[in-house]
Amino acid sequence: MGISERRKYKATARWAYSRPLVLNALRLLWIVVVVWGEIGVYYWSLSSCRWPDKNLPLADLHLKPQHASPLHILLISDPQVRPPRDFWEDTSWLASAREFFFELNLKRNWHVTRRLKPQTIFFLGDMLASGKYVHSEQEFEQYWQKFQDTFAFENGTDVYYLPGNNDFGMGASRSLSVNVRAYYKKYVGPLNQAVPLRGHNFVALDAPGLVDEDYRRSASGLPHQQWSPTLGGTLDFIRDPNYRITEQGPVVLLSHIPLHRPDTATCGRLREKGTIRRGVGHGYQNTLGKETTYYLLDTLHPIAVFSGDNRDYCEYNHTSRHIDPETRTKISEESVREVTIKSFSMARNIHHPGFHLLSLVEPSTGAPSLADTACFLPDQPGLFSALYWPFVAITTLLLLFLNL
């Protein structure tokens, strides 16, 4: 065998040896990429997400043992659980794949979020993506069961729900079942409620019902003070002093629909794009009305407001006025911060879903009793564009090169 032939033989041997090595390396890298993209990135995204206990005063040793540490409250908005497969109009493989990845992402989001072990959870509306379109009680029950199967809770966790416009609709529409509100109250819970927690009143409102009633009030030309509220409606609930009987204390207002603000208002650095502007369409309204917002703030005097619906984060400071009931003149005013929290499910044009954490202690003079922080989840579409597709392209090129 000549020198040139020996060199050719050695080169061929090295190539034959390196080819399986490259293939095995690719297999290993794909395992790492998939594990990271499907599991690791979710845990990594919450590695810096912590309950904001450090922003509150040290525990009072004179309190009951169960109140010696802050109460941990989780706020989730817009899970948008899709209807069961039996309800689908489009049963194509593309629709099935789309639903599969949406539900997989939602379940993974919940899997990592529940590891924070919240003691109390508030869902700020739109638990169901298409609840307003159900036609019977059986359909609603089946739909709500799917939500409960998606969100399994730890024993001892207190869970409360606010209605959203997608849960049972908003505005008059013949295409929507007139009984959906009744189904909601039977299977989900009350439309309006006040929840006493650690010396605070969490006032959870039926915002879609409030919008509907506000249209009727506005059409009558009457101000809120002269309007006779709908029996059992949101305004009736707000005026009823019995909702505060369970426990006096600072009010934390919860509403699916954000409160009114100027169109020029900004939302802070945590928002991905744009701002919240007034807008109305079939079955939705971007914000509560201006007069209704003033009425809520001046009547309830909340120390904080939390809302959802917009799908992106927003932070805005309102003004709550103390009005003399006889002269209707302003006595004093104070700033009230509203946080519109991220959608928990994937949303178009929003990269990162999210949720909100609250730490709560008994109120005391001169010290904050509530602290909150936003947490963000992975950008699922971004994982495909920045991780999976580039790695598919690299793998394809390597395989083509190995087979030349």
What's the pTM value of the predicted model, to 2 decimals? 0.87
% the chain with pLDDT above 90: 52
Q: Which residue has the tokens 């006595």?
A: 331
Closest CA to 159 of 244, 284, 75, 228: 75
CATH code of the domain made up of 69-391: 3.60.21
Q: Which range in 26-35, 80-89, 149-158 is most confidently predicted, on average pLDDT?
A: 149-158
How many Å separate Cα 309 from the centre of its chain?
Answer: 8
- Tens of pLDDT along 254-279? 999 999 999 999 999 999 999 999 98
Q: Mean pLDDT of all residues in the chain?
A: 86
- Tens of pLDDT along 331-344? 778 999 999 999 99
Residue 18 has pLDDT above 80, yes or no: no
pLDDT of residue 24: 79
Mean pLDDT, residues 351-377: 93
Mean pLDDT, residues 196-223: 93
- Tens of pLDDT along 63-101? 555 566 899 999 999 999 999 877 766 677 787 888 888
pLDDT of residue 126: 96
Mean pLDDT, residues 284-309: 94
pLDDT confidence band for 225 (50 / 70 / 90):
confident
| 341 within 8 A of 356, measured Cβ to Cβ | yes
Residue boundaries of the structural domains of the chain:
69-391
* Sequence-distant (≥ 6) Cβ neighbours of residue 192 within 8 angstroms: 204, 205, 206, 234, 237, 243
Cα distances (Å, whole numbers) of residue 225 to 154, 217, 321, 328? 44, 11, 15, 11
pLDDT confidence band for 137 (50 / 70 / 90):
very high
Buried b / exposed e along 236-248 (16+ C-beta atoms within 10 A)? ebbeeeeeeeeee
pLDDT of residue 61: 43
pLDDT of residue 38: 80
